C-alpha cells in the first residue's frame, strides 16, 4: 500500500488555498491542501498496525500548535512547484523528526521545507507568470494544527484517509 503522513490545515485555510489550486494545480482533485510530513512510501499491510501504534505514541503527548504563512516560495530550479511557505516552527520540526525515529521507512526529504502546494506540474512560462503574480501579494495566515493522518493512494491517484491521530490522544 502506498501511504503518506500529512497534516490538513483547517477547512477555512483549505478554502483559501483551493482558490489558487483550482487554477494552478492539476492535482487539485486528488487530495486537499496539506502539509507533507512523510512523503509517499510503500508499507506492507502487516506493518500498518505497528505504524498506527507508533503514531498514537508520537501524537498522544503533543498539543495542538499554531503555524503561520506569510509568503509564497518555490522549489525552482529543482521543480516548478509554487507553495505557501510555513514560517519556521519548532513543533512541526520536532514532529517531523520523530517520524524518523521508529519503524517508518527512513528515506526523507534532503531538507524538510514545510509548505502547502499552490501550483505544480506547470511549464516554465506559466511558472514565471504565476510566481511573479503570487509573490507580489501580502499574506498573513495563521492556523492551528491539531492532528495528523495516514493517507493511502487509490488506483485513480486520489488519496484517502486511513487513520487520523489527534494531538493529545
Determine which one of 115, 151, 159, 165 is catalytic. 115
pLDDT, residue 165, reads 97
Identify whether 115 is a catalytic site residue: yes
Task: Give the 3-state secondary structure of the chain.
Answer: CEEEEEECCCHHHHHHHHHHHHHHCCCCCCCCCCEEEEEEEECCHHHHHHHHHHHHHHHHCCCCEEEEEEEEEECCCCCCCEEEEECCCHHHHHHHHHCCCCCCCCCCCCCCCCEEEEECCCCHHHHHHHHHHHHCCCCCEEEEECEEEEEEECCCCCEEEEEEEECCC
Domain that holds residue 80: 2-166
pLDDT digit of tens for each residue in the chain (169 aa)? 899 999 999 999 999 999 999 999 999 999 999 999 988 888 888 888 888 999 999 999 899 999 999 999 999 988 999 999 999 999 999 998 888 887 765 665 668 899 999 999 999 999 999 999 999 999 999 999 999 999 999 999 999 999 999 998 6
Domain count along the chain: 1
pLDDT, residue 106, reads 62
pLDDT, residue 84, reads 98
We report the CATH number of the domain holding residue 155 as: 3.90.1140.10
Determine which one of 21, 34, 81, 96 is catalytic. 34
Amino acid at each position: 500500500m502506498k501511504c503518506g503522513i500529512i497534516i490538513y490545515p483547517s477547512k477555512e485555510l483549505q478554502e483559501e488555498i483551493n482558490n489558487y489550486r483550482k487554477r494552478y494545480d492539476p492535482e487539485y482533485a486528488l487530495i486537499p491542501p496539506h502539509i507533507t510530513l512523510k512523503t509517499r512510501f510503500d508499507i506492507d499491510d502487516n506493518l500498518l498496525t505497528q505504524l498506527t501504534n507508533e503514531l498514537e505514541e508520537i501524537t498522544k503527548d503533543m498539543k495542538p500548535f499554531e503555524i503561520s504563512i506569510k509568503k509564497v516560495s518555490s522549489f525552482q530550479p529543482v521543480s516548478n512547484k509554487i507553495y505557501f511557505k510555513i514560517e519556521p516552527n519548532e513543533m512541526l520540526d520536532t514532529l517531523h523528526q520523530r517520524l524518523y525515529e521508529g519503524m517508518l521507512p527512513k528515506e526523507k526529504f534532503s531538507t524538510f521545507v514545510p509548505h502547502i502546494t499552490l501550483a505544480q506540474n506547470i511549464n516554465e512560462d506559466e511558472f514565471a507568470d504565476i510566481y511573479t503574480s503570487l509573490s507580489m501579494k501580502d499574506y498573513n495566515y495563521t492556523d492551528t494544527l491539531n492532528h495528523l493522518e495516514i493517507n493511502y493512494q487509490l488506483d485513480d491517484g486520489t488519496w484517502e484517509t486511513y487513520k487520523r491521530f489527534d494531538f493529545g490522544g
